[in-house]
Amino acid sequence: MRRILMIAAAVGACLAAAQEQPPEKPAWLTLGPYLQFTRPGTAVLRWHSAEPMALGAAYHVSGEARQAEEAAPVLEHAVTLTGLEHNAVHSYFIQGPDGTNSGRYECETEFNYAVPGLPEADWPGPGPSAGAGQAAQRVLEESGVTRGYALILGAVTSPLAYELARRSELRVIGFDTDSDAVAQARQALVQIHAYGPRVTIQHVASYAALPVNRYCANLVLALQPVENAEVVRVLRPSGGVALLPPPEESTIEGRIAAYAEGRWTRLDQGPLEGAGAWTHQYGSPDNSAQSHDGLLSATRTEQLEAQWVGQPGPRAMVDRNPRTPAPLYADGRLFVQGMHRIITLDAYNGAVLWSLEIPDFQRFNMPRDCGNWCTDGRSVIAAVKNACWRIDAATGLLGRVYPVPAPDGAKCDWAYVASVGETLFGSVTMAGTAYTNFRGKSPLGWYDAPVGSVTYKIGSDALFALSKESGQLLWRHEDGVILNSTITIAEGAVYFAECRNPEVKARSSRRLAPEGLWDDLWLVSLDAATGGKRWEQSLSGIAKGIVVFYLLHADNTLVLASSRDQYFLYAFDPATGARKWEAHHPWTNEDHGGHMQHPVAAGGTVYLEPCGYELATGKCVTEKVGAHGGCATYAATQGALVYRGDGGCVALWDTRDGAVTLWPRLRPSCWLSTIAGGGMVLSPEGGGGCSCGGWMETSIGFMRKER
Do 330 and 390 fall within a single domain?
A: yes
CATH number of domain containing 56: 2.60.40.10
69 exposure class (CB count in 10 Å sphere: 0-12, 13-18, 19+): exposed
Question: What pLDDT is attached to residue 55?
Answer: 86
Domain stops at, among 268, 284, 304: 268
Question: What pLDDT is attached to residue 676?
Answer: 98
Q: Which helix (H) or strand (E) element contains residue 179?
A: helix 179-191
514-538: per-residue pLDDT in tens?
999 999 999 999 999 999 999 999 9
Instruction: Quote the number of domains for the chain.
Output: 3
- For residue 533, what are the β-bridge partners? 526
Do 198 and 313 fall within a single domain?
A: no
Domain stops at, among 231, 250, 268: 268
Do 107 and 142 fall within a single domain?
A: no
Contact criterion met (CB below 8 Å) for 182 and 202: yes
Question: What pLDDT is attached to residue 10?
Answer: 37
Instruction: Please tell me the distance from the alpha carbon of residue 328 to that of residue 334, in angstroms, as a whole number.
Output: 6
Alpha helices in 390-548, H assignment, sequence order:
502-505
Distances (CA, A) of 181 to 121, 155, 188, 206: 20, 8, 11, 14
Considering the domain boundaries, does residue 18 fall inside one?
A: no
Contact criterion met (CB below 8 Å) for 295 and 304: yes
Do 104 and 138 fall within a single domain?
A: no
Domain stops at, among 268, 303, 323: 268
Do 220 and 322 fall within a single domain?
A: no
Distances (CA, A) of 430 to 208, 373, 425, 427: 60, 18, 17, 10
Considering the domain boundaries, does residue 287 fall inside one?
A: no
Do 623 and 488 fall within a single domain?
A: yes
Instruction: Please count the CA atoms within 13 angstroms of the CA of 164 that sit on its side-chain side.
Output: 34
Alpha helices in 244-320, H assignment, sequence order:
252-261
Distances (CA, A) of 314 to 287, 351, 532: 27, 17, 45
Question: What pLDDT is attached to residue 8?
Answer: 33
Using the CB atoms, write b or e for 86-114: b if 16+ within 10 Å. eeeebebebebeeeeebeebebbbebbbb
Do 595 and 696 fall within a single domain?
A: yes
Question: What pLDDT is attached to residue 23?
Answer: 61
Rounded to two decimals, the pTM is 0.95
Considering the domain boundaries, does residue 120 fall inside one?
A: no
Instruction: Please tell me the distance from the alpha carbon of residue 147 to that of residue 165, in angstroms, as a whole number.
Output: 10
Phi, psi (5° rounding) for residue 162? -65, -45
CATH number of domain containing 188: 3.40.50.150
Do 186 and 218 fall within a single domain?
A: yes
**pLDDT less than 50: residues of the chain:** 1-19
Do 213 and 301 fall within a single domain?
A: no
Do 412 and 494 fall within a single domain?
A: yes
| Residue among 243, 68, 66 nearest 151 (CA) | 243
Instruction: Please tell me the distance from the alpha carbon of residue 97 to that of residue 112, in angstroms, as a whole number.
Output: 30
Contact criterion met (CB below 8 Å) for 543 and 568: yes
| Residue among 380, 275, 387 nearest 328 (CA) | 380
Considering the domain boundaries, does residue 15 fall inside one?
A: no
Question: What pLDDT is attached to residue 127?
Answer: 79
Nearby residues of 4 by Cβ (< 8 Å), 6 or more positions away? none
Alpha carbon 58 to chain centroid, angstroms? 31
Helices and strands (H and E) in the chain: how many: 7, 48
Do 72 and 147 fall within a single domain?
A: no
| Residue among 100, 208, 201 nearest 160 (CA) | 201
Do 53 and 101 fall within a single domain?
A: yes
Residue 531: strand, helix, or coil:
coil
Structural domain boundaries enclosing 79: 25-111
Contact criterion met (CB below 8 Å) for 424 and 388: yes
54-88: per-residue pLDDT in tens?
988 889 887 788 989 888 899 999 999 999 999 99
Instruction: Please tell me the distance from the alpha carbon of residue 493 to that of residue 556, in angstroms, as a whole number.
Output: 12
Instruction: Please tell me the distance from the alpha carbon of residue 656 to that of residue 646, in angstroms, as a whole number.
Output: 19
If DSSP states are collapsed to H, E and C, what string results for 36-54?
Answer: EEEECCEEEEEEEEEEEEC
Considering the domain boundaries, does residue 532 fall inside one?
A: yes
- For residue 636, what are the β-bridge partners? 290, 641
Considering the domain boundaries, does residue 484 fall inside one?
A: yes
| Residue among 3, 32, 181 nearest 94 (CA) | 32
Considering the domain boundaries, does residue 117 fall inside one?
A: no
Residue 486: strand, helix, or coil:
helix
Q: Which helix (H) or strand (E) element contains residue 304?
A: strand 304-310
Read out DSSP for 660-675? EEE-TT----SS---E
CATH number of domain containing 622: 2.130.10.10
Question: What pLDDT is attached to residue 6?
Answer: 33
Question: What pLDDT is attached to residue 128?
Answer: 77
Cis ω before 514 (30° cut-off from 0): no
Considering the domain boundaries, does residue 116 fall inside one?
A: no
Beta strands in 194-236 (DSSP E): 199-203, 219-222
